[in-house]
Structure 1
Amino acid sequence: FYRSIGLARSAQDTLEWFEANAASDSEVADALDGVNALVEGANVFINSLTSANMPIEFKILGYTPEPWTPVDCFINAKMLAWGLAGSIMDFQRQWIRTTLDNDTLYNDLFPDVMPNTIPIIQEQYNLSIGEYPLGPGKVPVSADPDQFSGIILADEAIIPNDKLEAVIKMMNEVIKPLGDFEFVGSNNWAINGSKSSTGMPIVAGDPHLGYQAPSVWYETHIVVPGVLDVTGTTFPGLPGVLIGHNDHVAYSFTNVGADVNDIFVEELNPANPDQYMYNGEWRDFTIHQEYIHTKEGEVIPFTVKESVHGPCIDSVQPTYSSDSETHPNLAMNWTISGVTHEMVAIAEVMKADDLTEFMNAMYWWDTAPQNCVFGDDSGNIAMLVVGRLPIRAGYTGEYPITALNDSVGMVSYVPYAHNPREVNPSRGFVQSANQRTIDPSNYAYDILGPQANGYRARRIFYLLDNNDGITVDDMKRFQADVVEVRAEVIVPYVIAAWDAVGDGNTTIADAVELLRPWDFDMEPDLEAPTIWMYLLDAIHEETFDEVSSIDTAIPLSRTPILEEFIVTDNAYYFDDHSTVPVETRDEILVQALFKAIDTLTAEWVDESDWVYGNRHTIYIEHMAGFTFIGGGPHRGQNTINVAGGWIASSGPSTRLIADLNAIDMSYMAYPGGQSGNMFSPHWDDIFDIWYSFNEVTEQHGYHVMYFYSTAVAFRTADTDDSLIERTITFVP
């Protein structure tokens, strides 16, 4: 699949742009130098490998690592961007729309803007267009709106539902390793001196990604005397710190969740499926011949078709056979498929000394849109939305469309100067948790979702808004918070409904009595969280019977819609229209309560199995399946401390708390270890810190980031010989 969408071709184009522009732009040159230095260092290690010291994974699988190349760094960046900004929402919206065939239902149940969301940006801070023009990149495939002649939404006659379903299933398999959308996001926030105990900013961030072993992150401290001194975490293969701090600034990211790709359904020539209609004539697809080489020496060829709109993502659709009448024609235009410049942003942000330099650095970030939190030792805090936010002509970008000429598509990007951002807001803090970026009524541009449901953001906002004199220890407690805001809103209505119309069933009554005193913490020693998980599913199913025909791989509707219906007592949607009696909200909630407990008791006869920690665990699998980390009970769910599903396979992939009052006393932890050797004590020792929870302080574990600029300073600080495990001497 990644071959078919052209990640390697895009990475090669990006590398060639860097090589062509390095001589005329010092920032580009510095970024390319960083890439080349990483490549050189990686290859020193690769070239040192022998059959004796080859990592065990390579021995077992029978592989020998190839030399690392500059283009591999750019492919790595493109893969990261796909994980954050590759979306199948166009297909899912199309599936729901055609299956429902009811605009009122669709608009009510699947709005792009979730109710009760606290926007990230509430005090927009624009920059000067003159100082910050459009941005360094251009639209991969630009439309000409002056030629507009209308569009055709791709209905079932254009994309048959069986084809649409097949593509959705294929795409779901592709994105499954990346983790569930709602739990692959992140939290970040910063408070300024008016909210902190020290009078200086504190920055916190915990990006949510799929767990893996070895960890997706590697902790690093990069020092170039007089030029660079930065520490934090990076992705192996990227030359720089992505989340961390230097002497003066601290930063972290969350995903915007913007829809930055569009699907075009090309009209194929009935006489020649290698041609498509465009501007009144049949055009030849560009054909890319790809080859997969297996370790057995076999070469597997496959063909990728590319139109003017982009590569056909269904080029490798497994249900298309060579004699089938179905041919690839779903072309994807993705903002990141062209040349991108995030390597410059990464290189420059590490050197930033203040807010202005930081904003200058993030001007280069034109890959997956991110909410970037910032704090500096001058007392500033900010939340910057960075990345390419497309401006479309002729359509909204919500659904697959036919586009028979160049009148429809992305025409430009929101100027960097007008990207959503907050700088030193009056409330004294900034926060993001992948929710709606900005109130559409207060912003001149459209930012198409999907964004997160907003419950984590509501809890973060509450904690920051209702506390003053906040300390680093408070920040640790906030990152460990497991209050389930969904339950906090909905469960009281369920209890009230039972009290009003319940029939006295003792099993249900006992379950209600477990819910009644619950404080909505998703703690592993309680039964109420387990009941809640079953109850929420049942309420969705009982309420949204109108959309029960939709494939279960697609959510019936999102919980904020359910919450809104419950709070406003929406009579239409609580009535089961397949029955003569008119059901009320309370009757449906009690009905859901029966269904939840019936399901729970059928699956888990022994009530001891209802204890949340017996069901809800963390499991981090080795990338090749050789071993795992974790396996024990786990706190949280759709909470600040994210731990979605029954087996938490994604969540806070690292935690950062940076204190701008004492930057050398900042904290970090991630669920893994610095070693990739599963037999090393450092394979999972940081996981043990990250996973630990102190019930008295209500904090997970962290380690000090040991921000010493020289080895001498580090040794001087190691007064009890506890910090330095060994000394490595590098020989030129």
Structure 2
Amino acid sequence: MKWFGRLALLGLVAALSAGGLVSVQLLRSMPKLDGQVKLQGLKAPVKISRDSSDVTRIEGASALDTWRGLGFVHAQERGWQLEFNRRLMRGELSEILGAATLDTDKLMRTLGIIGMAQKQLQGLSPATQAALQAYSEGIQNAWLSGAVRPSPEFKLLGTQAGGPKGQAWSPEDSLGWALMMALDLGGNWGQEFARLSASKVLNHEQLWQLLPPYPGEKPATTVDLPALYAQLGVYSPKGQTKAFPFTAAPNALAQWSADWVRDVGILEGKGSNNWVVPGSHTVSGKPLLANDPHLALSSPAIWYFAHLKAPAGELPGGHQHPALDVIGATLPGLPFVVLGRTQGVAWGFTNTGPDVQDLYLEQLDATQPGQYRTPTGWAAFEERAETIRVKGQGDVTLQVRSTRHGPVISDVQAQYKGLIDAQRYAISLRWSALTEDNKTVEAGMLTNWAQTVPELKKAFIHNHAPMQSVVMADTLGEVAYQAVGKLPTRSPENDIRGVAPAPGWMPQYDWTGWLPAEQNPALGHQAIEAKGWHATANQNILPPGYAHFVGGDWTTPERFERIEQLLAASPKHSRESLQAIQNDVTSLGAKALLPTLLSAKPQHALGDQALKMLATFDGQMHAQSAPALVFNVWADELTRGLLVPHLGAERFQALYGKRHFRAAVEGILKRSDAFWCGAAGCPAQVSLALDRALVRIADQQGTDMRAWRWGAWHPAISSHKPFGKVPYLNAIFDVRTESAGDLFTVNVGQYWANDPKEPFANRHAASMRTVYDLADADQSVFIYQTGQSGHAFDPRSRDMAAAWASGNYRLLQQKSNAVHRLLLTP
């Protein structure tokens, strides 16, 4: 894409220099905020207004018209985002981006997202189907009306919404996007691959030192995985192929595609914080609820804040519904508020992180190609041909294979090539979301009418995937916690327990059913009242003595423990105190390793000065902090020094970045582990890592340590798709701002340390922050990292960035406070 980026930039500059004509075109493609627009499909006028916080209020004479109005707004504000995501989940990116994204298209075709969405759509209630249809009509007719004009991405890529087929969005696309969110928040698949890969070069004990269990727990399996895989002959014979056949991608977009395919299914960092405080522990006497979901930062943001209103009425299927009055975060692609509040009740999500993805080793029949082994003998793969259109070249035909467990992903994920013996084995995926009875979108609709905690719980019974830890609070004073989603059950004979690829021909490794929803982890009002709060931060959420296996790949508890410290520090909380907790940048992860860093004996000329500075470091990851910069670069260098010699540079690079291996490093240092630290010993590794860190920092920030700043190396980058990967264009389409936090702070700032250009850039953080005040709905607040508009030349596309980085908020009000007014008429 280098040539494309340069040509596009030159064309853009030339166009801008042309002046008036292009200015008019840019203005015409901006979202229309005032006036009147005709929209086909409406039964009555729909009022659309933006308030002083730029929250969009959509008020129709019926729920169906309100959803049509939301479709229109998503199309006008986030048209390119919808188009890119539609192509992504359908495996149609290469049609407009060329061969660079073939890896991504092949994976999506193999997973069969849209095919499954079509099946799931048929199982939804007539009311929900009608809601999805109305929303899709709103998007489609927004383009047909001419009121929504293509944003610059369409012009630069020479495409249109919906492509040659002309279908900008459909109900099945909404189902598909719900599946994509489940894919983004699923994590066991990637951990299973990591254990498979590491088992080739480590023994059983070393494997669990590299990927240790949750603190205080034992490994989820006692099976000696390296021995099992060696006995089965899983790995490619030595010398046959490289362990990791990765080569430098021809351009940045191809590298993004390859990395995205490789990293699908990695949970680490895909977290969130939420907590609820009952009225007995708040200043107002009514509950407070806080939520900040941690997702990959993007431009435009993943969320769009809206307020949906409609009177009571009836939907197809005889569904009688009360008045609709719900405000919060919507996902472009879905017609409901996903995270938010009604007049009566508020809710917030974090990722539960259950094990709902299992990989299976499918043994191949050496005498009869196209056959794999099952408990009852050999069976033929299910096969289908997928044709992928590729810009600039001929069509590519992909032969997709599936087994009784699910799609064969080793055919389309490059990391398996050269790792497993492809003549003997393939690897398939079983994933809870890919079932026809998945009714997660049904839950989404029903939550928007709930007014009490019991009504909200009833709505969430339909939630399937992804499984979420939900805190809830209503204006009556009730609070609750519930893990919502479907958990697979496994046989007592399943000794691998889904933590690594299992022999697919052995029936004890098959799922045996689903855990009843009423047995999911939960906590009622009285238990929360007794403690004073309930918080989740992707830690182990299971109560003592819980009878069912949920998973073993929990996020380490530093964020949770810090939230608990801060909630316990005050007997009464206010909205402002919860905001302060959300923006806390004390890193318990840094505090755990800081004594080790202070024991270093560096040889670098700046070493003594660095140690003197670090001696006063309190673990606060402020953007202005020099010690925060030194600590994080040192931790990266130490991790590399300890692990690369044993994993090999290529395997380490493939596993690192989206994983930080901090728990492994802490364990190695605590044990003074001779295997990992090598002949020189752990103290030498600590000192050498500091020397290397100081060389790296001084090379870029100079030798004046007083001028060093963590934020300079830790900008929050909300990256555009795809122009965030195109040189020159990324300067226009990305949103960047210096940020605080690290991997372990409540105000999280996850960096991908294997990134060759900006390894400490903040890529995965609070995708929004909200605090809901159940005493006064209009004192609730929100913020996220870009802005409501998805148009790169619109100031509204980045007008929240500075406030988000500095810990400020906007009011989230259900009362009318219109600054802009637009009327949609039939």
How far apart, CA to CA, are the structure 1 residues paired with 2:474 and 2:264?
32
How far apart, CA to CA, are the structure 2 residues paired with 1:402 and 1:116?
25
How far apart, CA to CA, are the structure 1 residues paired with 2:246 and 2:428?
12
The one-letter amino acid paired with 1:58 is F
Answer yes or no: is 1:433 the counterpart of 2:537.
Answer: yes
The one-letter amino acid paired with 1:633 is E
How far apart, CA to CA, are the structure 2 residues paired with 1:338 and 1:167?
33
Give how far 1:35 is off: 1.1
Give how far 1:707 is off: 0.5
Answer yes or no: is 1:641 the counterpart of 2:755.
Answer: no
Q: How does 1:331-346 map to 2 (within 5 A)?
A: 331-339=428-436, 340-346=438-444
How far apart, CA to CA, are the structure 1 residues paired with 2:198 and 2:572?
48
**3-state DSSP class of the match of 2:131?**
helix
**More helix as a share of residues:** 2
Which of 711, 736, 742 aligns to 1:631? It is: 736
Aligned to 2:662: 559
Give how far 1:621 is off: 2.5
Answer yes or no: is 1:3 the counterpart of 2:104.
Answer: no
Q: How does 1:74-153 map to 2 (within 5 A)?
A: 74-85=175-186, 87-100=189-202, 102-115=203-216, 153=228
Aligned to 1:530: 629
TM-score with structure 2 length normalisation? 0.73
Answer yes or no: is 1:683 the counterpart of 2:797.
Answer: yes
Q: How does 1:589-604 map to 2 (within 5 A)?
A: 589-601=686-698, 604=701
Aligned to 1:657: 771
The one-letter amino acid paired with 2:573 is I
The one-letter amino acid paired with 1:706 is Q
Which of 509, 521, 529 aligns to 2:608? It is: 509
Answer yes or no: is 1:368 the counterpart of 2:473.
Answer: no
Answer yes or no: is 1:158 the counterpart of 2:234.
Answer: yes
Aligned to 2:63: none
**CA deviation map 1:510-542 (0-9, x unaligned):** 101111122221112221011111222244345
**CA deviation map 1:391-417 (0-9, x unaligned):** 122421112122225443111222211
Give how far 1:338 is off: 0.9
Answer yes or no: is 1:486 the counterpart of 2:589.
Answer: yes
How far apart, CA to CA, are the structure 1 residues paired with 2:372 and 2:700?
53
**3-state DSSP class of the match of 1:273?**
coil
Change (3 A) 1:660 1:591: same
Aligned to 1:222: 308
Aligned to 2:788: 674
Answer yes or no: is 1:42 the counterpart of 2:149.
Answer: no
Change (3 A) 1:619 1:381: same
The one-letter amino acid paired with 1:10 is M
Aligned to 1:302: 398
How far apart, CA to CA, are the structure 1 residues paired with 2:539 and 2:795?
39
Conserved 8 A contact 1:112-1:448: no
Change (3 A) 1:613 1:111: closer
Give how far 1:280 is off: 4.2
How far apart, CA to CA, are the structure 1 residues paired with 2:154 and 2:603?
62
Q: How does 1:169-184 map to 2 (within 5 A)?
A: 173-175=259-261, 181-184=267-270
Conserved 8 A contact 2:275-2:290: yes
How far apart, CA to CA, are the structure 2 residues paired with 1:171 and 1:96?
24
The one-letter amino acid paired with 2:260 is V
Change (3 A) 1:282 1:167: farther
Answer yes or no: is 1:409 the counterpart of 2:510.
Answer: yes
**3-state DSSP class of the match of 1:90?**
helix
Conserved 8 A contact 1:203-1:658: yes
How far apart, CA to CA, are the structure 2 residues paired with 1:270 and 1:171?
33
Give how far 1:594 is off: 3.8
Conserved 8 A contact 1:115-1:561: no
Q: Which moved more, 1:521-530 or 1:280-289?
A: 280-289
Aligned to 1:134: none
**CA deviation map 1:68-111 (0-9, x unaligned):** 211111111111111111532111111122310x2222234423
Unaligned stretches of 5+ in structure 2?
Answer: 1-106, 219-226, 248-254, 313-321, 724-728, 752-759
Unaligned stretches of 5+ in structure 1?
Answer: 19-27, 118-151, 694-699, 709-713, 715-722
Change (3 A) 1:259 1:521: same
Answer yes or no: is 1:452 the counterpart of 2:555.
Answer: yes
How far apart, CA to CA, are the structure 1 residues paired with 2:777 and 2:572?
18
Cα RMSD (Å)? 3.2
**CA deviation map 1:297-336 (0-9, x unaligned):** 9432211011111111133356979xx9758821111111
Q: Which moved more, 1:605-614 or 1:647-656?
A: 605-614
How far apart, CA to CA, are the structure 1 residues paired with 2:521 and 2:243?
34
Q: Which moved more, 1:342-351 or 1:286-295?
A: 286-295
How far apart, CA to CA, are the structure 1 residues paired with 2:542 and 2:605?
47
Conserved 8 A contact 1:63-1:295: no
Give how far 1:254 is off: 1.1
**3-state DSSP class of the match of 1:365?**
coil
Aligned to 1:389: 487
Conserved 8 A contact 1:229-1:247: yes
**3-state DSSP class of the match of 1:477?**
helix
How far apart, CA to CA, are the structure 2 residues paired with 1:3 and 1:599?
42
The one-letter amino acid paired with 2:825 is V
Q: Which moved more, 1:591-600 or 1:198-207?
A: 591-600
Give how far 1:289 is off: 1.3
Aligned to 1:519: 618
Change (3 A) 1:296 1:578: closer
Change (3 A) 1:39 1:195: same
Answer yes or no: is 1:350 the counterpart of 2:440.
Answer: no
Give how far 1:271 is off: 3.5
Which of 296, 300, 312 aligns to 1:210? It is: 296
**CA deviation map 1:173-218 (0-9, x unaligned):** 2357889844331111111123211111111111111121222111
The one-letter amino acid paired with 2:458 is N
Aligned to 1:12: 118
Conserved 8 A contact 1:629-1:684: no
Conserved 8 A contact 1:170-1:317: no
Change (3 A) 1:669 1:576: closer
Conserved 8 A contact 2:290-2:771: yes
Aligned to 2:159: 63
Change (3 A) 1:681 1:373: same
Aligned to 1:236: 332
Conserved 8 A contact 1:453-1:558: no
How far apart, CA to CA, are the structure 2 residues paired with 1:8 and 1:352?
30
The one-letter amino acid paired with 2:197 is W
Conserved 8 A contact 1:674-1:683: yes
Give how far 1:503 is off: 8.1
Give how far 1:559 is off: 2.2
How far apart, CA to CA, are the structure 2 residues paired with 1:115 and 1:165?
34
Conserved 8 A contact 1:494-1:586: no
Conserved 8 A contact 1:154-1:265: no
- Count of residues in correspondence between the two structures: 655
TM-score with structure 1 length normalisation? 0.82
How far apart, CA to CA, are the structure 2 residues paired with 1:705 and 1:353?
18
- The sequence identity of aligned pairs, in percent, is 25
Aligned to 1:697: none
